[in-house]
């Protein structure tokens, strides 16, 4: 059960920002592993052929969405810190979420 004081767009923007940050932090070791494969050409070629799979493309799109969500969440926090409070922020949160999902969708369409 969600407490009433936590059921508003600002809270959910906070949750999305934190979760996307955690998932991106968990992704970093895998990213560094793949960068390490670049030293050995055969290993990198093997990984690149694996990354052409549809599930890998979907995961990459999810990663782009996470990056966009984290970026827009960070920009929202900067706006909260530096700009005066306004009633338009609910709309800006929805806009940021929509832009993040659009970025992932565009990436998925271009990857196909």
Q: Which residue has the higher pLDDT, 50 or 2?
A: 50
At 21-54, the pLDDT tens digits run 898 888 888 888 888 888 888 888 888 888 888 8
* CB within 8 Å of 39: residues ≥ 6 apart: none
Band (pLDDT 50/70/90 cuts) for residue 85 is low
* CB within 8 Å of 21: residues ≥ 6 apart: 70
Q: Is the dihedral of CA 9, 14, 20, 23 positive or negative?
A: negative
pLDDT tops 80 at residue 102: yes
Percent of the chain whose pLDDT exceeds 90: 0
**Mean pLDDT, to the nearest integer, of 53-64?**
87
Tokens of 46: 């093997």
DSSP per-residue string spanning 86-103: -TTHHHHHHHHHHHHHHH
At 13-29, the pLDDT tens digits run 888 888 888 988 888 88
Cα dist from 62 to 13, 22, 41, 105, whole Å: 17, 14, 27, 9
């Amino acid at each position: 059960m969600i407490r009433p004081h936590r059921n508003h767009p600002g809270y959910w923007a906070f949750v999305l920002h934190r979760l996307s940050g955690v998932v991106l932090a968990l992704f970093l070791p895998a990213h560094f592993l793949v960068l390490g494969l670049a030293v050995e050409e055969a290993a990198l070629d093997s990984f690149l052929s694996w990354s052409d799979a549809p599930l890998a493309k979907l995961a990459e799109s999810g990663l782009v969405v996470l990056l966009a969500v984290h970026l827009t969440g960070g920009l929202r926090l900067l706006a909260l810190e530096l700009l005066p409070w306004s009633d338009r922020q609910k709309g800006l949160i929805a806009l940021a979420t929509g832009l993040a999902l659009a970025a992932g969708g565009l990436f998925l369409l271009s990857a196909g």
